[in-house]
Amino acid sequence: MMDWTDRHCRFFHRLITQRTRLYTEMVTTGALLHGDVPRHLDFNTEEHPVALQLGGSEPADLAACARLAQQWRYDEVNLNCGCPSERVQRGAFGACLMAEAELVGDCVDAMRQACSLPVTVKHRIGVDRVESYDFVRDFVGTVHRRGGCEVFIVHARNAWLKGLSPKENREVPPLRYDLVYRLKADFPALTIVLNGGVADNAQIATHLQHVDGVMVGRQAYHQPWLMADWDQRFMGFERSLPSLDAVEQAMVAYLDGVVSKQGRGFGHAARHMVGLRHGQPGARRWRQVWSDPQLRAPSAAQTSVLARAALREATLRSQPA
């Protein structure tokens, strides 16, 4: 979710669901230790609970970044051991770390010693053509024993580090949910969260019969209204369901009141909500107004008026005469 789940995206998602845990895009240890820390770590208080996802492989560096996560008041710090991109391979972290379970355990241990936040690990079920369940079982067991990690977020595909792009790595290696279910059966005391290919609420409910949690990435991004009843349905939190119009107007106020004050146009933040009306009559025209700089107005409020007018017009045209 690099370049997707930034603070503006997370603020928008929090308008739809109050209890779902949100994750940052992966931030490398180098970016935090040698770069602009506020730019990478600043977030809106409304985003809680929110987890900082780190990329790195040096225990000392990860420990320093875990301390930063606590100082900035994140709710969790997550070590990414699943990203297959060439950039992370060159840095010898991400999915490469699955071949070095003892090192991952040392990283987790260093992070846990450096902060009081929960330290979690996100990983794949295997690397390249290693498809034996024993591989991922031993990885989880070693990281738990050596590092004390108790929460594992498992993308139910292998990471093929040679020959596939990151996009292809999300689609080509087959999903093997049964391996994630087996992890929960073999490690009942650990929290096992399933990730990968989850498309709707029925699938979430099915997976929750076997594991402790489900992480949804791109589907939630492209169809954010999928999250509207998660608080009630999956977490037992009673709340009035938000309306599409109310969420749009709250995001518009955010865009004009916060984002524009940063000296940038609001388009880079508004892009996160273009899927809000997915499946609704007229959604395509509404999305076009928000997406096209030539169609957007100078302010988000004015753009909202134009987009909703286009939505109404397209809806009327779609109705039978």
Beta carbons of 108 and 143 less than 8 angstroms apart: yes
Mean pLDDT per 10-residue section of the chain, whose length is 321 residues: 85 96 95 94 95 96 98 98 66 78 97 98 90 95 98 93 71 90 98 96 98 96 96 90 93 87 81 94 92 91 92 77 52
With residues binned 3-state (H G I as helix, E B as strand, rest as coil), the percentages for the chain, rounded to 5, are 50, 15, 35
Closest CA to 29 of 91, 106, 121: 91
Beta carbons of 79 and 107 less than 8 angstroms apart: yes
pLDDT of residue 316: 77
Query: Does the annotation mark 83 as catalytic?
Result: yes
Other beta carbons less than 10 A from residue 279's beta carbon: 8
- Report the predicted TM-score, pTM, of the whole model to 2 decimal places: 0.92
DSSP 8-state assignment for residue 148:
-
pLDDT of residue 318: 67
DSSP 8-state assignment for residue 255:
I
Beta carbons of 27 and 56 less than 8 angstroms apart: no
pLDDT of residue 240: 84
pLDDT of residue 319: 67
Helices and strands (H, E) in the chain, number of each type: 16, 8
pLDDT of residue 187: 98
Question: Among the options 65, 81, 83, 115, which is catalytic?
Answer: 83
